[in-house]
Amino acid sequence: MIGAVATVPIVRIGADSGGTFTDVVGTDGRVLKVPSTPADPGDAVRGGVAALVPDGPELLAHGTTVATNALLERRGARVALYCTAGFADVIEIARQDRPALYDPWAQRPEPLVAGADRLEVDERVAADGAVLVPMDIGALPPVPDGVEAIAVCLLHSDRHPGHEAAVAAALDAAGFDVSASHRVAPEFREYERTVTTVLNAYLRPICGSYLAGLDSAADDVVVMTSAGGSIDLATAAELPVLLLLSGPASGARAAAAVASACGFPDALSFDMGGTSTDVCLILDGAPRAAPQQRVAGLPVRAPALDIHTIGAGGGSIARLDSGGALVVGPESAGARPGPACYGHGGTRPTVTDADLVAGRIPSDAAFGDLGVLDIAAARAAIDAAGIDAEGVIAVVNAGMERALRAVSVEQGVDPAGLALVAFGGAGPLHACELAESLGIATVILPAAAGVLSAVGLLTAPGRRELVRSWPGGVDHEGLDAALDELAARARELVAHPEPRVSTAVDCRYRGQSHELRVPSVAEFPEEHRRRNGEARPGEQIEVVALRAVVETPAPSTVDEVLASWDGRWTDPVVGPQVVVREDCTIWVPDGWRGEPGPLGSLVVTRVAAGVGA
């Protein structure tokens, strides 16, 4: 537990539920960092909120891993899929690309719908809307016994949803939990649309139950989406596929605000927690958006930030594989038993154990409710595994460096021109070494580094995004009118009198199979040049989708939340030095020096090795 129990009401609370810890932050600067409760993640959230505000806050902004964990652990509902006759195996055929070109044993993820639960509907609508095979709604295949949720995805229903809407309405009237693709993912590409719709159905029962348990935690509860905005509980329960990157998105948004305040609108966010590491590219003060994400090997065609996640955190377990090579993660010690040094019965070595043995975490420092960490237990776990602490650190750093390169170098951006914003409980322990490897000269450590994702929850705007497949090119006479219409529909989704609405288009050169999202067609050639190294003057550009985003003001700003934070930096830090904070531990190596910066941050830069205080 960090901080004392509040003696005055806190009107707004941010609660970030992670795999190891749940962070609860109040707008008055009070913080709780409590072990997560994997059996029911809501227990830790409700308990943390009640500890800070016994009578309940007026707002709870929540970031959750429930959807992500349910998918990773395959604990979702049994789903039946209603599809156009002849398309039952789209979900299994997938794409022609191979997951590992030279690995003959590479396996694709198992489909989330068994063959017997894929039900074909005798109907067919053409791409232009012509009905080729009429549908008899009374002849729908019966729902198999034991099915808990239903996904409906008929051919071309992204543009012509009439048949699909009729099927969904009939199943809904029969009392089934139905997800229809024209409401979940109305975009072309049958495989991705089908998988995303199935995912939504797969997650609805477990997420709906979880979210209902939070309804009484505050007067108003909002949930962070993968796109970095918040939605109400009802929308989150209806569209849980929007929550797959809920927690990481809030951290990236807060990191962007801190980096911009420090004079770095272009940066990399680096969030290393207890179970995973999440990284994101920030350009012009905003986290990069992604047209599609892959989670557990499956494509998710839903609005999201371009966050790259790997299984590398303080609780990641280190071991020797069958060939004698040192491997770190993705398996984690979690909240219980946690790293060996926590004293909760863990015996397998983790990254935190290695950091402690290597001297990056002081052996006599008290860590909240954990007290002084058990360095003898950490050494015993490392020795028993036949590994060494420095090797563990080197391996986990290599994996995190690859992740940072994936969102920068592989996107056509030189990391040397960026700052690295490090947060999460373990991020500041590894940030400077990663920056050194990437040629980055500046590391920013936010004032609330260990709980920045929870801060980000309080600073996220309300956000909804609408998408519409577009059959015409850039010269189609209805393009501008269609964008205006989509923007008007987006405004209707929020109650705010003056929401901020923006539009974008997904473009590609004719003949290409993938598109880029740009604010306007005119900006596509330059974005293509930056991403792919070339533009193609004179070549025809195609528009394949239209988008409209509506945002409402955030409940707080990063400045407001951090203004009351007790841990704002006031003194320089000269490496080599370990600094223990209430929410995280920081390692500043030799050759680096930190100075207090805006919003109470510590701005660490490279200097000559051996520089003294």
344 plus 285 within the same structural domain: no
Number of domains in the chain: 5
Question: Which of 389, 417, 449 delimits the end of a domain?
Answer: 389
Domain boundary among 336, 361, 389: 389
Q: What is the pLDDT of residue 391?
A: 96
Rg of the chain in Å (alpha carbons): 25
pLDDT the model gives residue 159? 93
- Do both 440 and 304 map to the same domain? yes
Q: Do residues 165 and 154 both lie within one domain? A: yes
CATH number of the domain enclosing 271: 3.30.420.40
At 63 the three-state DSSP class reads: strand
Give the range of the structural domain holding residue 116, as residue numbers without chain letter.
79-203
Are 285 and 405 in a shared domain?
yes
DSSP secondary structure letter of residue 367: -
- The answer to whether residue 575 is domain-embedded is yes
Q: Please check whether residue 192 lies inside any domain of the structure.
A: yes
Mean pLDDT by groups of 10 residues along the chain of 613 residues: 47 86 88 85 92 90 90 91 96 81 81 96 95 96 97 96 98 97 94 97 96 93 95 96 91 95 97 90 93 86 91 92 91 86 92 94 76 91 95 96 94 93 94 96 95 94 93 74 93 90 94 90 92 89 94 91 83 92 89 95 83 46
pLDDT digits (tens, 9 = 90+) for 487-514: 999 999 988 888 999 999 999 999 898 8
Residue 207 · residue 235 · CB < 8 Å: no
Q: Are residues 144 and 97 in the same domain?
A: yes
Instruction: Quote the DSSP letter at residue 366.
Output: B
The whole-number pLDDT of residue 369 equals 66
pLDDT (tens digit per residue) in 221-273:
999 999 999 999 999 999 999 999 888 899 999 999 999 999 999 999 999 98
- What does the pLDDT read at residue 531? 84
361 and 293, same structural domain?
Answer: no
Q: Which of 208, 211, 180 is nearest to 193 (CA)?
A: 180
Whether residues 374 and 429 share a domain: the answer is no
Measured between alpha carbons, how far is 351 from 383 in angstroms, rounded to an integer? 14
For 181-218, b/e burial (b = at least 16 CB within 10 A) is bbbbbbbbbbbbbbbbbbbbbbbbbbbbebbeebeebb
- 100 and 153 assigned to the same domain: yes
Q: Are 139 and 186 in a shared domain?
A: yes
266 & 375 share domain: no
Query: Which pLDDT belongs to residue 475?
Result: 67
Within-domain flag for 21: yes
Interaxial angle between packed helices 427-438 and 389-406, expressed in degrees from 0 to 180 and rounded to the nearest 10: 60
pLDDT of residue 4: 42
Instruction: Please indicate, yes or no, whether residues 57 and 92 belong to a single structural domain of this protein.
Output: no
Q: Cα separation of 308 and 65, whole Å?
A: 15
Closest CA to 274 of 196, 339, 184, 222: 339
Q: What pLDDT shows up at residue 612? A: 47
Residues 6+ apart with CB under 8 A from 501: 487, 490, 491, 548, 549, 550, 551
